[in-house]
Structure 1
Amino acid sequence: MEIESHGHLPFLDTEIIRRDSKALFRVYRKPTNKDDLLHFYSAHNERTKVGVVIGFFLRALRICSREFLEDEILRIKSTFRALCYPEGLLSNSLRKARDIRQRKNPINRKDKQFLIVPGSDFSRLLGDAVRPLGLEVVNDTGKRIKQLVTPTSSITNNLSIIYKIPCGGCEKSYYGESYRGLETRIKEHKADLRHHRLSNAMVNHVEQEGHLPDWQQAEIIRKGLRKGQRKVIEALYISTNSNINQKVGNIKWTKYTAEYAKMRNCPNTAPT
């Protein structure tokens, strides 16, 4: 609990000063404060840097009494100059902060629509162009440091597969994808048959046609794939081969696109 000392009382980021019969206010900084803030040459986009500066000016405008406001503004400018911020950026940010402070009807963010785009000079021009339409451009932050330094998973995992289980009574086959290998998937399909789970396409085929799967001819047709590749290639096999699958897969190939992929013999897509 803070205690008033010599007419000064810090409360959060505000310092309350008792002078005669009135209270004055200014920004409070802890004695250990080093103004170690976002450097202008950091990897953040310019919108983020401008937002930080405007935030500091807004805090000064909202907290400081008239007697302390100018000193606080000078300190903010001096702090960011030391971090290589251009003088023009600081002046424009102060002007924007004053404009925001003087608004009588604050913008209701719930009524605004946002467009997320990568940060660039073009995104700032785009933001100015679409703002009259009620859209606000927001820049994404790109990859985090963790994503840059963490090794990606290998695609050589032989359990990550596309597989085929032929029907024992007709020319159709079931096509599937898994990251747990063919043996595990066959056990699961057999369990679905034993328990008569109609959510399984092979169970439905047995129910309707009386044809059992030919487990002995089950085979791996692709392996060592990432998840996204598995989804795309599984859907391609389903759309270009006679099958008993109930679903077309996560990707819906058009007839002509699928045939083109087969014709071009695209790596990681064309059936073998």
Structure 2
Amino acid sequence: MESEADNKLLFLDVLVQRQGNRLNTSVYRKPTHQYIYSSSCHSIQVKRGVIVTLTRRAKNICSTPQSLSAELDHLRYVFTKYNEYPSPFVTQTINNTLDSTTKPPRQQTAPFTISLPYIGSTSHHIRRLLKQQADIDVTFQRGNSIQNLLQATGRPRSSQKQDPSGVVYHIECDCGDSYVGETSRPLTLRIKEHQASVRKNYSKSAIADHIKAHPNHNIKWDKTRTIVRNQSDYKIQ
């Protein structure tokens, strides 16, 4: 339901801009975007992976050298200025990601690999001991957080399995227009947020804007479908 404005059109994390008879693309991010802080309890591999992923996204989306350069400058500034990552770490990670040299696949050196919750420096000690004493490789996954354990009401989260997270989804209006969105959270939760935006007439929602402009239209909530699903459900390892 996004419409072109000032020769620009937003689609997921892509900004499409009409310039003459050409369509150029660059990265689009919501004003509320945020990244892992340098002091957060995540392994260095996860923090490096965030920068690698954002750099690859910029490389894949940006259609001009100017837009790619601007996006990489933004990443360097945000991670060093606001997230307090060491500048050499950020720069080296970005440069290594941009390097087109084919890197050989990582060889598994141990016969067994296990996944453990990451709890800081203790996790690294455990990994080193398991490798030295039992020849076992260890990967890390995110442990429980307050967000995992509590809802906004203060009640514990239900043990019932939620819908898979990390999907691109499609919502249709009875007029034929449709909305395509993406979320890293359970789809049912994101749909409830869309419905609340329509009820409360929030202008931050493209669906709510559509209903505001066309009050006689009806959104086919029950026809919402998943286009792409992240099989790992955004699980960090």
More helix by share: 1
Q: Which has the higher contact order (CA 8 A, sep 6+)?
A: 2
Instruction: State the TM-score, normalized to the length of structure 1.
Output: 0.41
